[in-house]
Amino acid sequence: MVTFVDRVTLHLRAGKGGNGCVSVKREKFKPLAGPDGGSGGNGGDVVLVADPQVTTLLSYHHSPHRSAGNGGFGMGDHRSGAIGESIELPVPVGTLVKDADGQTLVDMIEPGMRFVVAPGGIGGLGNATLATPKRKAPGFALLGTPGWEGDVQLELKTVADVALVGFPSAGKSSLVAAISAARPKIADYPFTTLHPNLGVVQAGDIRFTVADVPGLIEGASEGKGLGLEFLRHVERCTALVHVLDCATLEPGRDPLTDLDVILAELAAYPVPEGQVPLLERPQLIALNKVDVPEGRDLAELVRPDLEARGFRVFEISTVSHDGLRQLTFALADIIAQHRAQEALKPVQERVVIRPRGAKKEFTIRVEGGSYGDIYRILGEKPVRWMHQTDFQNEEAVGYLADRLDKLGVETELYRVGAAPGATVVIGEGDGVVFDWQPSLSSVAELMTAPRGTDPRLVQNPRRTTSERRERYHEMMDAKAEARAELNAERGAVYVDEEDPE
């Protein structure tokens, strides 16, 4: 059964924004008192929170699909829709968040740090909000935009002060259990430790954490054994302790050879830019299992050679606890000095990235098709406006045309060679396809068309004043001619009756 997970892929879906409402206020003696449609609520966000109480990504391994609540629809009487419920996902401190392509989004290295990984959709505006002095009663409202949907990768890198490194079965887990209250799995076979174990050590007034990294073997930095999967947990440690087995029964192994192999693997592992290389960090040597007579003899034999290479060496035993006090206090001094140096550094101001309008808010890509060129409009604003448009409402479509024209889309279409009737697509994929008919200028603000219609899209059958006047004159002339003919006929009949001969 899996008990520890340090890498997982989340499938996230933020909440969709609610649609705006089209409504007209009606009261007694005020049948049309003006638009009162409320706006829709924003969709809920998916937020990652660095929680010190969480130590594994196991819960997301079993249920990787997470979604936030949708925003409510707007209602009449200026009632806005409810805001969608956001969800918070606690992750361990030290979690690296990447997108589906592997690009780093954020490093959750501080307790309580929050990051909106999937923003919710925007609620659509109601017709009350869209009303202007020139467009007093809009017959349309904007739809809510969909929330962000996609995959993100979570990768845990343990945040500890000290990392214990060494060959399998060197006694690293036993050392963590001996100096802290942690109780990792201990057995007499290699690779007992399959995931890092954290322990808290108290040495005088200094408290620090120790991480037991799974055993390393030759070639670990290239993927052999378990080293490549867990070497990243050493990246954030301040100091390293090389735990060397002085009582190993494997042929061809000794503390000096084991140390050379481990140093080579640590040197071959690349750390992220800006971090201190692993071999340049403080390192101590712990010669373990000196409670065995052969182990103590071997430790005394190799100790001068290790000290000649510049290492501080401690002979320890996790069984009899020999040398553990000296080792923990030496580590406490290193951690205290490091924390004092970090305290002297100026506090790095957290950079807050605020979105700014791009110089060019859209692009037009010309694509060849079987029936001619296709002009694809790409950009945050055009795509968002497309999602907000109710294409069953002609007035809403006209409003979209006005917005695109003000953004300069028609001018750019002319520049790239589009002709009237050309196929235009908004957004990637299928998007919204239409035949482009250029307009002379925006007249939506000056229109007095019936609600829900746009005279630029539907030919208006109503006659103009001059046409009605001309028709009236034609009708009056026709009546005058008919009256004259009738009078002429009556006169002729009267004359015949007076003089029948």
Q: Which residues are annotated as a binding site?
A: 166-173, 191-195, 212-215, 288-291, 317-319
Q: Which residues are annotated as a binding site for GTP?
A: 166-173, 191-195, 212-215, 288-291, 317-319
Quote the radius of gyration of the chain (alpha carbons, Å): 39
- At 370, list the tokens: 């079987």
Q: Give 76's contacts (C-beta < 8 A, 6+ positions apart).
A: 21, 23, 25, 36, 37, 38
Residue 86's CB is within 10 A of a number of other CB atoms, namely 19
Q: Are strands 95-99 and 104-108 parallel, antiparallel or unpaired?
A: antiparallel
Alpha-helical segments (H) within 309-363: 324-344
- Are 404 and 354 in contact, with CB atoms under 8 Å apart? no
**CA-based nearest residue to 235, from 281, 203, 199:** 281
- Are 47 and 88 in contact, with CB atoms under 8 Å apart? yes
Q: Which residues are annotated as a binding site for Mg(2+)?
A: 173, 193
- Chain CA centroid to CA 327, Å: 44
Residue 261's CB is within 10 A of a number of other CB atoms, namely 18
Q: How many CA atoms lie within 13 A of 320 on its CB side?
A: 12
- At 230, list the tokens: 């867990």
- Are 383 and 389 in contact, with CB atoms under 8 Å apart? no
Instruction: Find where tokens 């020999």 sit.
Output: 322
Q: Can you tell me the distance from the alpha carbon of 421 to that of 436, in angstroms, rounded to the nearest whole number?
A: 5
For 323: left if phi > 0, alpha if psi spans -120 to 50, otherwise beta; the answer is left
Backbone phi and psi for residue 445, each to the nearest 5 degrees, phi listed first: -75, -15
Q: What angle do CA 419, 424, 426 make, to 5 degrees?
A: 150
- At 36, list the tokens: 């009162």
- At 320, list the tokens: 């009899």
Q: Can you tell me the distance from the alpha carbon of 161 to that of 198, in angstroms, rounded to the nearest whole number?
A: 10
Specify the DSSP element, H or E, that contains 94. none
Q: Give 110's contacts (C-beta < 8 A, 6+ positions apart).
A: 50, 93
